Amino acid sequence: MTEATSQGIALALQARAQLTAPGAPFEVIECTDGDHAERRYRNAFPTLPALLAASRAHGDKPYIQYQGETWTFTRFFAEADAVASWLHKAGVCPGDRVAIAMRNRPEWGVAFVATALLGAIPAPLNSFGLREELHAALADLAPKVLFCDPERHARVAGDGAPDCVMVVTDSAPAGSESYAALAAQPAEPPPVADVGPDDPALILFTSGATSRAKGVLSTQRAVCQALFNIDFIGAVSGMSSPEAVAKIMARGLPPTTLTAVPLFHVSGLHAQLLNALRNGRRLVFTHRWDPATALDLIAEEKVTQFNGAPSMVLQLLAEPRFDDPAVTGNLGGLGFGGAGLPQRAIDEVLKRPQGDMSGIGFGLTESNGVGAAASGAVFRHAPRSSGLISPIIDLCIMDAEGNALPVGSMGEICLRGVTLMQGYWNDPDATAGAIRGGWFHTGDVGYVSDEGLLFVVDRIKDVINRSGEKIAAAEVESCLLQHPDLEEAAVFAMPDEGTGEAVAAAVVVREGRRLSEAELQAHVAAHLAGYKVPARIFIRQDALPRNPAGKLLKGDLKRACLSPTR
């Protein structure tokens, strides 16, 4: 730890106190909600319609760049007003669901905003979902309208199609409405939405890495408080990293983010689409994720920020052109979605100038992305942590019986606060299982340090119990990834008669390299205790299976590796 990084966390704590004090921009107030008091930002917008009304002030500034076309805020809101006007005439009212199923494109954002303007509930679907998955989500939602692109329409239409109006971008098939025609109509001002802070605002589906995805229902207040929290994180990062901020400001470039993460998750919707809309910032949409194409866009569009899953960031760093100042010289930071970064990712970022304002956070769909965050000097001070806990969230580390554990003790991370979901849509049993005594049980294992930093160790299901010794899969994965010839690694438990569970791993070797199971076991043995060395290592040619958000489908991988027919 250097004196500069140590000073960084001191400055972050000082900035946090200043920014949340009475009369400050991010003043935090305490309100009673049910049986407990919760903290809120006094100055956050109460509802999405109120936030959107303020965002119109950005006028003719560029908002979204997509396939060579620029959408200004003026154009974006003109189309949103036209679509909202049509939705109102079609009978969409506050509380009605409007589903969205399309790849990242400007029309996705228009459909979302038009729905929110009316106080209706946008419900983005996993655009990578196949017919059965999309039908299941639509049957659960019972939306009045579905906005989709031709590819998603082809998956949904026909037998089992939802009983709702379908609006299709590009060429609209017979029986559907044309998005282009609706957006081109003269817009009548949409009615002022009759919604309050406690009314429903959004349904987002969990990633469904291990089971069928569940719809997460959040209130207007929860979403708006979460969006304001993103601004708070930025303010703390700037105040605690003044030299890095000065370097970025000296370039004189407008803040521009390359958006490659799906908009149907909080990392894309909250932190990018809505954050940029609120603050007048520019987004560059990728048509599909490809690291080489992403570098082209970073250079051509003078991108200043890239946020993505750890696997996406590592792929970007592995590109030979990444270290060319002509390509990435304008990047001020790299953001990691998720937590528990492998050591190699940390090393790769910290040794590069683009890592000056890099960061990571911890949050879930169920908390609207709010939990903890670290950026700039705080990230450099403790890159293995997930940062400082948000001032509007309560975080408690609990044991298996639900008892609070002291600082430094490892247990399940539980959250409570204003940004927490109302519950899972149409699933009271799942809601009751996840929220107990007012606390949302995340299923993540971690601890809080003396400095107030959250460290996420692993998922509960990914902690391996070998003869009573608890082994974090993430620790072994990080060790494996230190081997220069490995591309990916995943660690999981496998049944063992002698120890109950044994450590197993699946790895992908870099193209053109060769490694044996014994060589990799020796590598782990040189760095970790003997009981943590994988008993089996499955060497794969194909990439590890992941969902559209970049989350590893460890259950699928484990079944494939341990299948008796293998």
Output the tens digit of pLDDT for each of the chain's 566 residues.
Answer: 455 456 778 999 999 999 999 999 999 999 986 677 899 999 999 999 999 999 999 999 999 999 999 999 999 999 999 999 999 999 999 999 999 999 999 999 999 999 999 999 999 998 888 888 899 899 999 999 999 999 999 999 988 888 899 999 988 888 899 999 999 998 777 788 999 999 999 999 986 444 567 999 999 999 999 999 999 999 999 999 998 899 999 999 999 999 999 999 999 999 999 999 999 999 999 998 899 999 999 999 999 999 988 778 888 998 999 999 999 999 998 988 655 567 778 888 888 888 788 999 999 999 999 999 999 999 988 988 999 999 999 999 999 999 999 999 999 999 999 999 999 999 999 999 999 999 999 999 999 999 999 999 877 878 887 876 778 888 899 899 999 999 999 999 998 877 888 999 999 999 899 999 999 999 999 988 888 999 999 999 889 998 766 678 888 899 999 887 65
SS3 511: coil
pLDDT score at 305: 95
Q: In 27-91, which ranges are continuous DSSP H helix?
A: 48-55, 73-89
Say how far apart CA 533 and CA 132 lie, in whole Å: 40
- Model pTM? 0.86
Q: How far is CA 158 from CA 50, 163, 175, in A?
A: 39, 11, 11
Say how far apart CA 195 and CA 443 lie, in whole Å: 33
Strand-pair category, 256-259 with 359-362: unpaired
pLDDT score at 457: 86
Domains in the chain with CATH codes: 48-195 (3.40.50.980), 467-562 (3.30.300.30)
pLDDT score at 343: 78
Q: Which amino acid would we find at residue 492?
A: F
Strand-pair category, 423-424 with 411-417: unpaired
Q: How far is CA 453 from CA 13, 15, 426, 543, in A?
A: 11, 15, 35, 33
Q: Yes or no: say if 198 and 220 are a contact pair by the CB < 8 Å rule.
A: yes
pLDDT score at 473: 87
Give the residue among 388, 342, 336 at the shortest CA–CA distance from 17: 388
pLDDT score at 6: 65
Give the residue among 170, 132, 164, 138 at the shortest CA–CA distance from 151: 170
Give the residue among 525, 464, 518, 543 at the shortest CA–CA distance from 496: 464
pLDDT score at 257: 97
Say how far apart CA 272 and CA 181 lie, in whole Å: 28
Tokens 């009573």 locate to: 468
Give the residue among 438, 371, 442 at the shortest CA–CA distance from 411: 442
Token pair in block for residue 240: 């605690």
* Contacting residues for 558 by C-beta, under 8 A, at least 6 apart: 492, 494, 504
pLDDT score at 168: 93
